[in-house]
Structure 1
Amino acid sequence: MKTRKSRRPTGSSATHAAAPAAARWQLGRIALAVALLASQTAFAADAPADAAKGEGEAKALDAVVVRSRNRIERLQDVPLSISVVTGAELERLQATDVESITKRVANVNWNPGNPRQFSLAIRGIGKQGQTDAQDPSVGIIVDGVNYAYNPLASSVDFTDVDTVEVTRGPQGTLLGKNTSLGVINITTKKPSFVPEGKFLLSYGQRQTLYGTATYGGPLVDDLLAWRGTLSATKGRGDLVNAYNPDLTYANRDRVSGRLKLLLTPSADFNALVTLEAQPRAGEATNGRSYNKATPTVYADGTTNPLSTDASTRLGRRWFTDQSDYSYANDYLGNAGRRAINADNYNPIVTGTNGAIAELNWKLADHTVTSITGWRNYYFDARNDEGTPFDISKNGGGLVDYKQLSQELRLTSKQGGFVDYQTGLFFIETQTNHSTRTGWGSDAGAWFASVAQYRTLDTDTSGRALLQDSLNRLYKRVDNRYDNKSAAIFGQANWHLSEPLTLTTGLRITREDRNTSSRAYLDDTGAGALINPAAVNGINLGGFLANGSGVLDSANNAAQLAVADQIAARYFGKAATGTPGGAYNSLTAAQKAQVAAARALRRNQVGVLWNEADAEPFRKTQPAFVVSPSYKFSSDLTTYLTWQYGEKAGISQNVNGLSYLTKPERTNSFELGAKTVLLDKTLVFNADVFLTRIRDYQQAVQAVDQYTTAQNFLPGGSQTTAYTSYTGNVPKVQAHGLEIDGVYGGIRNVTVRFSGAYNIAKYKSFPNSAQPVENGNLATPYRDISGQTLPGASKVTLNIGADYRVPVLDDKLFHTSFNTTFASRFNSDNALSSYGWVGASSVTDAAVGLGRQNNQLDVSLIVKNLFDSKVYQSQTWNSWTPALPRWVGVTVTGKI
């Protein structure tokens, strides 16, 4: 069979095999890492000549290409702020997750949380964690498919990566789902008709074992090729659960597989099918924090009574009876032992599967592309309050998520007066999210107010009521989010003259978002008799009584029977034959004990409601881009970009009542220059930007309609209650300077650098929640207009370098490092004065020796080389420690 080379992918696999081994490392002043970048991002028949060159040919740094506009283009020709990281660079330092990727580009931040609550920020905006009903502010695209739910990428190892491109500013006139802040575009390697196999095996501190294996090649010569990747990680975390030493925090437990099939029946058609699976496994994330003593005064100097503080609760006789655990030595002292003590905590279980079908047809001067994607995600958390007592029990969250997307795109041939892309996009998502709250036998003693505890912990009957008040009680809130988004989009490059190009794009999106929810008692536990009569109109089978425990005259016979059962069970009072007689025979002190237990239970149960549909969000939303660019020479291009985008509003229930959040509207302006200097050994790109957002979506304080309605006082007056929910901040703004570059002017060395000076502030935010140090104030909100957004460092820098030199005839010595720096930021969403985290830098490094033909390589890898101990976050009484230094040995080679 003849080989039709034009059909074969021109990606890294093919070019690597074709390059003469003797010339492979003769790049001189042009470093290998950047040369790989040009070859690795090319795709199939669309790849330009520069991208198809072999590794042994010297290529200028300005040959770096990107796919951020759905076609292969020189990075220097794209009028956008884009950062590019190669898969080879990520692999050398085992940077496999989203956090590691963001450490290699400027002005992009990963904000820690559990797999469901983590968030991404670009230009200092986006720190606020996402809700399940909300679109991500920073989109993630993997192999052409949008992740409409951030957790899809949260606990995944990205292996066999080709390139990662980060594009800043609103996106949507090309890239599938519209986003308001930017996109991280991850592309994994495609099958090749040249057989290729490789492996990686790493072992390091904390019993960490990490391995990957990739193999592929032709199944049917020139017709069908495949590529398979298997990845597995297993390792202990840095903090131990003292209650169960086999459980550690920040452990790794991941296994995933990917299979790709490339079909090329003709020069005008190809199909790429991807199947992925990551079976469910557990990693301990929640609760990875240490406690410190709560301040005894509020910000205004008022004494903090510490009535609900752990110091008060653990000082109660109920807990001091356990002599081997104390507030001072354990609750506060575990930091010195690098331990956490939690009896009911289990690892968070996650898992995901996916399938993608990408079809490409060449029709005359156009290409038609169809991308169909399906993805699911599973999340199950079991949390604990951080003590060895039976307080929190089987509580946490459960998520079952599914998405189906379809993109159909028409792309014209490049060249001439205008080239363009246009298409249709549709995505449907379904999220079933349940929040569970469970209480154990010690929960009553923990959650009781000072007065309630004093009343109940006086005799055997009171202690029985205290224990049963919450024991084995379970509450559940079920939410279902059904979202649909359909769009038509188009973008055109108008070549007005040889140096002047005008890029215009428009997107029209129709959003349809629906939410339903309910809150109910899943199990009434040991204290069913202590239930209130009803909550929010839902009958719970209790009886009516006043705050002193005196029966209400409105009780019916069934309710009086319940009161008599309480009298018999807890006080030994026999039935009198008169409904309510046994209960009425209780002393005033005994009735006060019943009232205290009932109030404790009622407060913890909170709001219940039957199935309720929130007001849907339905709207047609525009997005556009206008960007003139001028090429002064082949080495200097300038551009001006205006991007506008909208993020869908949120359909949601709060305490069973509908709270509709308005859409987020973003205008982003950017003036940039892309240059190639010093005889093409330095690529230097810079831009200044201004981002303005109206109705920014994050947590705000608003009137709690349900609780306010319950707060009727004598005389008809009413006390207004407030609650926190995902609402709208009127105005947010960020502006600053970004740089990004690569230098290859030193023999055998490549230096990549990026940085940003960024001011991200609330222009108008009159209703932020009070920080904890203002917890004594009657006003439940404050105006923080003009203050810096949480998580927004003013200065971020990144520098990475690779040194590679032939030694010992056929060997290659190599060393590399990556350092990321961030100036101080506030880790608290309410901007607490206790939430500031100091400036920090983290360095990862590697040194190794291998064969020049890549048959075998051995490297020593160190993460957090200088063991930076700057906290990840902190509040006024806790902090999350940094991940400590990790050292491992890695062996890679060809199969």
Structure 2
Amino acid sequence: MKARQQRYAASRSAPFAPTPLALLLSLVALPALAQQAPATAANAEAPAVEQRQLEGVTVRSRNRIEKLQDVPLSVSVVQGNELERLNATDINSITKRAANVAWNLGNQRTSSISIRGVGKVGQTEAQDPSVGLIVDGVNYAYNALSSSFDFIDVDTVEVARGPQGTLLGKNTSLGVINITTRRPSFTPTADYNVSFSQRDGVAGWVAAGGPVVDEVLAWRGVVSVNRQKGDLVNAFNRDNTYTNTDRVSGRVQFLFKPSSDFSARLALDAQPRAAEATNGRTINTPTPRTYSNGTATNLQTDSGTKLGRRWFTQNTGFTQDDFYYGGKTGNLVNNDAARPLVTGSHGATVDLNYRLESGHQLTSISAYKDYHFNAVNDEGTPFDIHRNSGGFWNDYKQWSQELRVSSPLGGLLDYQAGLYLIKVKNDAEYQKIWGTDAGAWYANDAQYKALDADTSGRQLLADSLANLNMAFNSPAGQQYIRNTSTAVFGQGNWHLSPELTVTTGLRITQESRRNTAFSLIKSNGSGTDLNPAAVNGIALGGFLNSAKGELDATNTATQLGTADRVAQLYFGKAVTATPGAAYASLSAAQKQQVAYAKAIRASQVGVIFNPVEAEPYKATQPALVISPSYKFNADATGYLSWQHGEKAGISQVVNGVSFKVEPEKTDSFELGLKSAWLKRTLIVNADVFVSNIRNYQQSVRIVDEYTTALNNNGQFAYTSATGNVPKVRVSGIEVDAVYAGLPFTQIRVAGAYNLAKYRSFPNAAQPVENGYAGASPYRDLSGQPLAGAPKLSFNIGADYRRPVWGDKEFHTSANVAFTSSFYSDNALSSYSVIPKAWVADYAIGLGRRDKSFDVSLVVKNLFNDKTPLSKTWNSYAPAIPRTVSLVFTGKV
């Protein structure tokens, strides 16, 4: 117990973190390591090369190739070369390089992207993401499509903040991450990357391409493999680790260009199904002994109390310290039934471009994308409590079509306009299976003591839930989701003078959301006769009895026959010709045991309902942008913008009752300056912003209409579900800067001071520490910060590259990401606060200047920051520890 408490205390204490000054000094010191290298003529030219790079940064966030400094939006750009130097291939590593954007780790289905502190919400299958992800012109309309993939052979990553939609595919209410991969060309290339890491990590990718028919047909293909053990070990099966990596993917593109006026690109991608253990990355800690008001915690339902029952302690091979609180090393879990989460995807895109004699460009993007997800979870013990404690089986498909016309540049007005259509089909089942130890786990104290008293009771206890298999109600057992968005959009740049340009844009989207849901028992398992007689009007084959087990007078002969079978099976009573006689011969204690076993089963079965067609959501929604920009001189452009965006409402079912969620509406105001200084060796882009969000979609506390009607006692029952927060406001300052004035060095700084608060949120759920008797069902969080929204976040990246030894190049790179403290759960529990954290990545290497060969040592989480990823009042998800890799790259 003492060791457990020490580990628990350590997990709550502030982790080691170097000071900002120390980190900055270390970045400054990096170039000094190479100053002794012999100078060459190329050395003197390097700063000029860096200066040209700063002038030439371009973006595609408005479907044109434009200079970043001319775009009147808050946009961050990260080059693919920068990501490759630090081996940053996953979405989490990518988002660390941009300002005011964060990756919120869940599992492959529930992870999310937030911009300006907004967007960290629990994923529901019928909900659109608030932050869009576009890959090579194709919008991914499902959060999960970003989470379990490596982004390889990337050209650029752009983060556009604020509502989007007058140009960028599907409308989004908070912003877009736009990833562009390298395209086929008629110049032969072949690049490779192979890395060896701690924990048996091996990763590699090969990208190659070139002409098939000179100047007519070209290709580019990439294959990627990434495998590594996780840092947490499952003691039940030591080959199962959390969070492991197991990814194989491939992409091939063909570019057909028969003339200078027409091109067609076909892209195919595939990620075969593979398994990664994410769910279960949890270290349990002792439950606090008091609630927030000082009253004693109700520990009857606490896991630690349950594990102290004879049913579990009779297995002397385990102690709670061994299997529930991290083990002796603090990094053990013990899950007998958990399986790694299986994901897979396929995609196809046809991209057509045709230039008319008038100079107008016609573009068509036709795309298909699918995604599979399967989770088999465990409750966190080595006992047979759950064969699957709840996990989704998802099959997601989307089809999209975009048609666009772009005018020539120049003159009073240049514009783009088009049509967009996307159809989504998502079949989702929430699976739950109970095991032979589940009854002893879910019984309350009175039920457990009565049933564990003798052999018959123990058999009832086991059979109460053993092998029960359900499409379980969370929020429904099965959902058939059908979403369609059809839009017309246009945006124009009005060049009113050489200095003044006004950008205006409008999008009209017709949204349709449909959802059919139901919950059911797929297999009754061992306790068929212990079923309730009916739930929600659906007959389940059981019989009616009182709380003490007495038969109800309204039982039919069939139901009495079921009761007799129970008496025979568990107590050896002979069944007679008189229905119900065998059961009536039971003693009062035996009838009570039956009543308790049936009550345990009924509590876990929960709500069952036949297919319900949720109230559909259909609406016409606008997106708007008005943004004047003024070029003060060649090196300074100011802009002002108003962006309005809307996210579709949600068609859903809560406990068998339709509960429609209203659309989320955002108005974002921005004042920005894009500037170049010091002979354009310093680029500074900054903005101040205010975003007002109405009907923000996240978990709220609502009246449970089903349970209220079922209880029929004049009291309201409550539950939590995805709903609407009336008002949210986000305001702050963002800065993106790049400096290349030092020899051989480029420094990037991206940061934000961000205030994301609920302006009105009267119906929040209570945090767990407020679970004392008599607590209000609601908590007013008006004026409080949003979960996952640190006030201060920034990252500093430095890249130093110096020619040495003739044709060689020494290089070193670093990136330091800082976040201030924030709440990690939507209820804003005081136990969920994540302290401030510094996470540094570092690389150092040597290679040939022609890029034919390079070797680097790459360290992620250099200082081994141990700040938890999330926390509750009796568990936490530990940080991903330091990882050292040796990386070989080159060109063939």
Q: What's the TM-score once normalised by structure 1's chain length?
A: 0.94
Kept in 2: contact 1:30–1:747 (CA 8 A)? no
RMSD: 1.1
Distance change (3 Å), C-alpha of 1:126 and 1:23 = farther
Distance in 2, Cα, partners of 1:508 & 1:489: 6
Tell me, what secondary structure is at the counterpart of 1:746? Answer: coil
Structure 1, unpaired ranges of 5+:
1-21, 33-57
Give the Cα separation in 2 of the matches to 1:712 and 1:422. Answer: 56
Residue 191 of structure 1 deviates from its aligned partner by 0.5
TM-superposed CA distance for 1:464, in Å, is: 0.3
Q: CA deviation at 1:887?
A: 0.5
Contact conserved, 2:256 with 2:263, CA < 8 A, in 1?
Answer: yes
Q: Which amino acid aligns with 2:47?
A: R
CA distance in 2, matches of 1:655, 1:612: 10
* Residue number among 428, 433, 439 corresponding to 1:438 in the alignment: 433
Deviation sequence 1:342-384 (CA, Å, 0-9, x none): 0000000000010011100001220000001100000000000
Instruction: Give the letter for the 2:879 counterpart.
Output: A
Aligned residue number for residue 821 of structure 2: 824
> What is the aligned counterpart of 1:83 among 56, 76, 89?
76
Residue 655 of structure 1 corresponds to which residue in structure 2?
A: 655
SS at match of 2:847: strand
Among 278, 293, 296, the alignment partner of 1:300 is: 293
Residue 41 of structure 1 corresponds to none
**What fraction of aligned residue pairs are identical, expressed as a percent?**
58
TM-score relative to the length of structure 2: 0.94
1:333 Cα shift?
4.2
Hey, what does 1:463 align to over in structure 2? 458
Q: In the alignment, is residue 386 of structure 1 matched against residue 399 of structure 2?
A: no
Q: CA deviation at 1:60?
A: 5.5
Q: How much does 1:329 deviate?
A: 4.0
Aligned residue type for 1:854: K
CA positional deviation for 1:829: 1.1
Match of 1:207 in 2: 200
Superposed displacement of residue 334, structure 1:
2.2
SS in 2 for 1:594: helix
Equivalent in the alignment of 1:782: 779
Question: For residues 261 and 153 of structure 1, what CA distance do their matches in structure 2 show?
Answer: 24
Write the deviation string for residues 551-573 of structure 1: whole angstroms up to 9, x where unpaired.
01111111000000000000000
Q: Deviations over 1:165-214 (max 9, x none)?
A: 00000000000100000000000000010100011110010000000001
**Is this contact kept in 2: 1:31–1:748, CA < 8 A?**
no
The Cα of 1:27 is off from its aligned counterpart by: 4.3
Q: 1:724-803 counterparts in 2 under 5 A?
A: 724-776=720-772, 777-803=774-800
Q: Distance in 1 between matches of 2:314 and 2:870?
A: 34
Q: Is the 8 A contact 1:502 1:627 kept in 2?
A: yes
- Over 3 Å counting, the alpha-carbon distance change for 1:764 and 1:221 in structure 2 is same
Aligned positions of 1:583-622 closer than 5 A? 583-622=583-622
CA gap of 1:512–1:545, structure 2 versus 1, over 3 A, is same
Distance 1:829 1:177 in 2: 27
- In structure 2, the residue matched to 1:146 is 139
Q: Is the 8 A contact 1:60 1:681 kept in 2?
A: no
Give the deviation of 1:84 after TM superposition: 0.3
Aligned to 1:336, what secondary structure does the other structure show?
coil
Matches for 1:626-645 after TM superposition, within 5 Å = 626-645=626-645
SS of the aligned residue for 2:47 comes to: coil
Secondary structure of 2:435's aligned partner: coil
**Residue 31 of structure 1, CA deviation:** 5.6
Give the counterpart of 1:376 among 370, 378, 389: 370
Is the 2:321–2:328 Cα contact (8 Å) retained in structure 1? no
- Aligned twin of 2:318: 325
1:534-583 CA-to-partner distances (Å, cap 9, x unmatched) read: 00011100011111110011111110000000000000000132100000
Alignment of 1:815 onto 2:809:
no
Q: Secondary structure at the match of 1:351?
A: strand
The Cα of 1:127 is off from its aligned counterpart by 1.0
Q: Among residues 264, 275, 296, which one is paired with 2:268 in the alignment?
A: 275
SS at match of 2:103: strand
Contact 1:649/1:664, CA 8 A, preserved across alignment: yes
Counterparts of 2:128 and 2:305, CA distance in 1? 41
Residue 693 of structure 1 corresponds to which residue in structure 2? 693
How many angstroms does 1:337 deviate by? 3.8
Q: Is 2:885 aligned against 1:894? A: no
Question: In 2, Cα distance between the equivalents of 1:156 and 1:449?
Answer: 43
CA distance in structure 2 between the aligned counterparts of 1:328 and 1:207, rounded to whole angstroms:
28
**1:26 shift after superposition:** 6.4
**For residue 404 of structure 2, what is the amino acid of its counterpart?**
R
Q: C-alpha offsets along residues 394-437 of structure 1, whole Å, 9 cap, x if unaligned?
A: 34210000000000000001110000000000000000000011
The equivalent of 1:426 in structure 2 is 421
Question: What is the deviation of 1:338?
Answer: 1.2
Q: Contact conserved, 1:30 with 1:748, CA < 8 A, in 2?
A: no
Does structure 1 retain, via aligned residues, the 8 Å contact 2:122–2:699?
Answer: no
Deviation at 1:742, TM superposition (A): 0.4
Cα distance in 2 between the residues matched to 1:769 and 1:800: 40
* Pairing 1:283-682 to 2, within 5 Å after superposition: 283-334=276-327, 336-363=329-356, 364-394=358-388, 395-476=390-471, 477-682=477-682
Mapping for residues 179-190 of structure 1, pairs under 5 Å: 179-190=172-183
Q: Is the 8 A contact 1:396 1:436 kept in 2?
A: yes
In the TM superposition, what is the alpha-carbon distance from 1:324 to its structure 2 partner? 1.7
Once residues 615 and 25 of structure 1 are traced to their aligned partners in structure 2, the CA distance between those partners, rounded to angstroms, is 68
- Once structures 1 and 2 are overlaid, which stretch shifts more, 336-345 or 495-504? 336-345
Query: Any idea what SS the aligned residue of 1:781 has?
Result: coil
**For residues 591 and 770 of structure 2, what CA distance do their matches in structure 1 show?**
36
- AA partner of residue 796 (structure 2): I
Give the letter for the 1:659 counterpart.
Answer: F
Q: Which residue of 1 aligns with 2:711?
A: 711
- 1:549/1:592 contact within 8 Å kept: yes
In structure 1, distance between residues paired with 2:721 and 2:129: 17
Tell me if the contact between 1:68 and 1:165 (Cα under 8 Å) persists in the aligned partners: yes
* Aligned with 2:839 (options 819, 838, 842): 842
Give the aligned partner of residue 11 of structure 1. Answer: none
Q: Distance in 2 between matches of 1:866 and 1:778?
A: 43
Rounded to whole Å, the distance in 2 between the matches of 1:882 and 1:309 is 25
Change (3 A) 1:785 1:536: same
Report how far residue 129 of structure 1 moved.
2.1
CA distance in 1, matches of 2:122, 2:321: 32
Q: Secondary structure at the match of 2:759?
A: strand
What SS does the aligned partner of 2:398 have?
strand
Greater shift, 775-784 or 403-412, is seen at 775-784
Following TM superposition, by how much is the alpha carbon of 1:451 offset from its aligned partner in structure 2, in angstroms? 1.3
CA distance in 2, matches of 1:809, 1:622: 59
Q: Distance in 2 between matches of 1:631 and 1:295?
A: 59
Residue among 25, 41, 46 paired with 1:28: 46
Encode CA deviations 1:39-79: one digit per residue, 9 max, x unaligned. Answer: xxxxxxxxxxxxxxxxxxx6252321111100011100100
Q: Which amino acid aligns with 1:372?
A: S
Contact (CA 8 Å) 1:30, 1:61: kept in 2 or not? no
Equivalent residue letter for 1:336: T
Q: Given that residues 160 and 188 in structure 1 are in contact (C-alpha distance below 8 angstroms), is that contact kept between their aligned partners in structure 2?
A: yes
CA distance in 2, matches of 1:333, 1:223: 60
CA distance in 2, matches of 1:463, 1:131: 39
CA distance in 2, matches of 1:768, 1:257: 44
Tell me if the contact between 1:418 and 1:493 (Cα under 8 Å) persists in the aligned partners.
yes
- 2:36: which partner in 1? none
Aligned counterparts of 1:131 and 1:331: Cα–Cα separation in 2: 29
* Length, aligned pairs only: 845
2-side partners of 1:328 and 1:590: how far apart?
Answer: 36
Shift of 1:305: 2.4
Whether 1:859 aligns to 2:853 is no
Shift in Å, 1:729: 0.2
User: Does structure 2 conserve the Cα–Cα contact (< 8 Å) formed by 1:31 and 1:749?
Assistant: no
Q: Secondary structure at the match of 2:446?
A: helix
CA offset at residue 23 of structure 1?
9.3
Structure 1 residue 335 displacement after superposition: 6.7
